[in-house]
Structure 1
């Protein structure tokens, strides 16, 4: 008779947790587009004076290495840094320069920007590619201001060369480094121009939240898995000393110089339409009208064709020629005559989640819950191993029941534990497949034709979780029934009832203390797993 009320209480608690941890997220407007003014991506300039405009491949290129100690301003930490300087051969006079800035990861001078740096140098630029300044940081603790200071040191290094025009040194920034470039332009007001490849534009929390939400949808993940993104990107990372997600780099100074922005149509990592709108808005606030936008068909996040994880893939279409032509004409101070917005139309599937913010309450609750769950799982495992050893020893010595479960509670506990753990494994497998699919399309691959596990696993887990809650309700109701028959839950309790239960003479659960401890520790562990499922939204129906 108690089963239904207990079930209502338990399922009500779990549904409440799922809804309380749900984060609002507005994907509207969806399907945004920005039409280009010309399908041609080429860049041309008005050149009434007939100034020579070098083309890609016009000069031979010489390269040399320089090493210096990159000091992290905030800590004094030193990173021995390699710089490869490439120069055109046989060109006299002062030349423009370009410093390359790394995207995410751990790029080095040797394996990064080789073709683009060579192409620019073959058109008369002195280029510098350095090891990415990372020091002892990782992807979530990067020092953007420190990195900007190191890039500026290399810029000053180029300006100090005899064959470089110190007024015409620009930057080539990709992906993550477009956050760094914002700090760099605040530090150095003399940077002449910039090429921004797949700029992130918005705060890391907003930009990566957009990336994850869009890509979860593209791979065909169930809406439930997509809701996980909303919770993750409301985590208050500052609680752990990580402030990177909320750095604000969208400011006018970041776009106050001549700027070329390039996107690929297969780039699923950037908010292209809103990004361009924000860039143009920031530039106009500073009076800068020299912003060019280019969209390239079939190009991925790094403007290459094919899988981004593979080496040696070519740039899209005329991208390299366009960058070189734009940089050469801009460095000469010429007026651009080609359309400012060219190439394929830009597309953005969902809106940037600009209302994302740190939620400390959610973070603290989630942290405590997951730590408690892991602790209880470890404790349950230890007690289960002890119980197994005791049971095996009892079987060998034939000393009778080792755990002494009564009324079938032992079998019920085993069945519910196995079911809950299997559900947890299915949840992990489904989420893992979603993440693998996101990584694949982020690198330029195609989404799966059939989502499979990443779609059907969510509703299956929801059904199983509901069944498990019902089963636990039956177990608890049976416990109450047996305890009532033993006189334990009467008021006042039957004389001697509690003592009989505790000593195992008249057990409710088990005749041994180990059996009782195993049951209750495992039950609390399974409840913590269900609460974890609720935290991630599995009880939102």
Structure 2
């Protein structure tokens, strides 16, 4: 009796389809079990402004004064930095002064705080903007306590400038600098006042997760993509470092006794604008400090800019608050400006259970991709050498199995590449506050389709291997053939597990 080829083909198709479904479900379950879910807690305690006007009672108006600029050298421990001093000209008596503390990045006085420093100086407040020290500042290593010590040297230097009142020297810190300024204020109670602009307040890891969540929601990504947040933010950096990611500034804020001006833009999606102000107020209360002023500026971004220009109202309020101290330190209204909105709490980030080690993840992906590229190339090289030496080639490979293995390896690598591309593009759109449905929605569909093709290819390989075994035919020939076969299967399986970890096979579980 002859075998029915149509029946055999139907059986192969059925088994391959069933294997694809089972494989996708298994990967979905595995992906859900491997790492934390992302379920941010809604913020249900909104901070209500007392008035929409940001003007500060008791603020002093002065100037405008001519400004004299000069460059000073600040000696740090093991390094020197240049700093630009702006002095108001024509003011009677010694003036208050401000040292600026940089946010993230490579801050230079030539391009940082230009509007804030100039405006303060024109209103009668001396300003010092030091270059940021970079020899101890990298992505992997940042010591905020050590950095606070460096900036305190700038405070000491400014106190010795003729015409500056050493008892009225304060600090202006923006973004990442707001993790540094409270350390300065706690360690040096003689600092006269503190301005915290766009302060993250929570530890860097929590702030990063909050910012990524906000950016992704603004970009409109599918819900499945959010699972990647704790897995990316909670992962250790390949090569080590990032110890500062869990730095907690709260203990230092609870020792601040100076008047504090807290400033946010309501268009800043990267900061917990409600939670941040609430926590600062609570921390100051623990220190017995009731001298706080909170201001929100409508449409202002992370740099308190509206349409790329520092909000004029903010500049006026800043100088008026500084000049009006100590009366303005606790003046009504305490909380004013545009009503802030924060959807979710910036809470602790769940830690990955399996692939949270960046070194392991990098080695796993790079090793698997390398195997899938090198194994076929190595086999061709060996066969070529044998041909040049006149040796007869070994038994031929099963062509059907070879094609399916090629599809499996190609689809696995292509899905990894597509996922990386997708995440990079989404990050670019998110940082730029842009939307692009073709990339955000279409790109995710493309990644998942490629992932299913890889699962289909894996099922097809399993079906073919079972048929070869039942027919008593070898699955591979020789040591090299077995290395290529099982190396390809193992490397592809590793990539499929990684893809499941990053949510490619989610089924709402």
Same fold (TM over 0.5): yes
Shift in CA distance, 238/414, structure 1 to aligned 2, threshold 3 Å:
closer
The yes-or-no answer on 1:68 pairing with 2:61 is no
Alpha-carbon deviation of 1:473?
2.4
Distance 1:373 1:28 in 2: 33
Alpha-carbon deviation of 1:383?
2.8
Alpha-carbon deviation of 1:12?
5.7
Shift in CA distance, 24/528, structure 1 to aligned 2, threshold 3 Å:
closer
Alpha-carbon deviation of 1:360?
6.5
**Paired residues of 1:479 and 1:508 also in contact (CA < 8 A):** no
* Counterpart position of 2:475: 509
**3-state SS in 1 of match to 2:202:** coil
Larger mean CA deviation between 516-525 and 366-375 belongs to: 366-375
* Counterpart position of 1:325: 320
* Counterpart position of 1:355: 348
**Paired residues of 1:298 and 1:316 also in contact (CA < 8 A):** no
* Counterpart position of 1:45: 58
* Counterpart position of 1:435: 427
Shift in CA distance, 8/83, structure 1 to aligned 2, threshold 3 Å:
same
* Counterpart position of 2:470: 484
**3-state SS in 2 of match to 1:34:** coil
- For residues 424-469 of structure 1, what are the alpha-carbon distances to aligned partners after superposition, in whole Å with 9 as ceiling and x for unaligned? 222122211111112212xxxxx31x43222233344334434432
* Counterpart position of 2:503: 537
The yes-or-no answer on 1:147 pairing with 2:153 is no
**Paired residues of 1:280 and 1:291 also in contact (CA < 8 A):** yes
* Counterpart position of 2:35: 22
5+ residue gaps in structure 2? 1-10
* Counterpart position of 1:465: 451
Distance 1:421 1:212 in 2: 26
Shift in CA distance, 403/297, structure 1 to aligned 2, threshold 3 Å:
farther
Alpha-carbon deviation of 1:357?
5.0
> What is the correspondence of 1:370-449 to structure 2 with a 5 Å cutoff?
370-389=362-381, 404-441=396-433, 447-448=434-435
> What is the correspondence of 1:90-109 to structure 2 with a 5 Å cutoff?
90-109=90-109
**Paired residues of 1:404 and 1:510 also in contact (CA < 8 A):** no
**3-state SS in 2 of match to 1:350:** coil
**Paired residues of 1:298 and 1:305 also in contact (CA < 8 A):** yes
Shift in CA distance, 335/456, structure 1 to aligned 2, threshold 3 Å:
closer
**3-state SS in 2 of match to 1:27:** coil
* Counterpart position of 1:310: none
* Counterpart position of 1:341: 335
* Counterpart position of 1:49: none
Shift in CA distance, 239/277, structure 1 to aligned 2, threshold 3 Å:
farther
The two structures, once aligned, show a CA RMSD in angstroms of 2.9
Larger mean CA deviation between 380-389 and 258-267 belongs to: 380-389
Distance 2:238 2:45 in 1: 33
Distance 1:201 1:238 in 2: 26
Shift in CA distance, 394/402, structure 1 to aligned 2, threshold 3 Å:
farther
Alpha-carbon deviation of 1:534?
1.4
* Counterpart position of 1:451: 437
Distance 1:256 1:362 in 2: 43
Alpha-carbon deviation of 1:142?
1.3
TM-score, normalised relative to structure 1: 0.83
Alpha-carbon deviation of 1:509?
3.2
Distance 1:167 1:468 in 2: 68
Larger mean CA deviation between 238-247 and 315-324 belongs to: 238-247
**Paired residues of 1:407 and 1:509 also in contact (CA < 8 A):** no
- For residues 350-370 of structure 1, what are the alpha-carbon distances to aligned partners after superposition, in whole Å with 9 as ceiling and x for unaligned? 221x23254565424x64344
TM-score, normalised relative to structure 2: 0.88
The yes-or-no answer on 1:305 pairing with 2:275 is no
Distance 1:138 1:223 in 2: 33
**Paired residues of 2:231 and 2:352 also in contact (CA < 8 A):** no
* Counterpart position of 1:222: 222
* Counterpart position of 2:289: 288
- For residues 327-363 of structure 1, what are the alpha-carbon distances to aligned partners after superposition, in whole Å with 9 as ceiling and x for unaligned? 1101x545765412121100112221x2325456542
> What is the correspondence of 1:154-303 to structure 2 with a 5 Å cutoff?
154-236=154-236, 240-251=240-251, 252-253=253-254, 255-303=256-304
Alpha-carbon deviation of 1:176?
0.3
**3-state SS in 1 of match to 2:306:** coil
**Paired residues of 1:404 and 1:512 also in contact (CA < 8 A):** no
* Counterpart position of 1:492: none
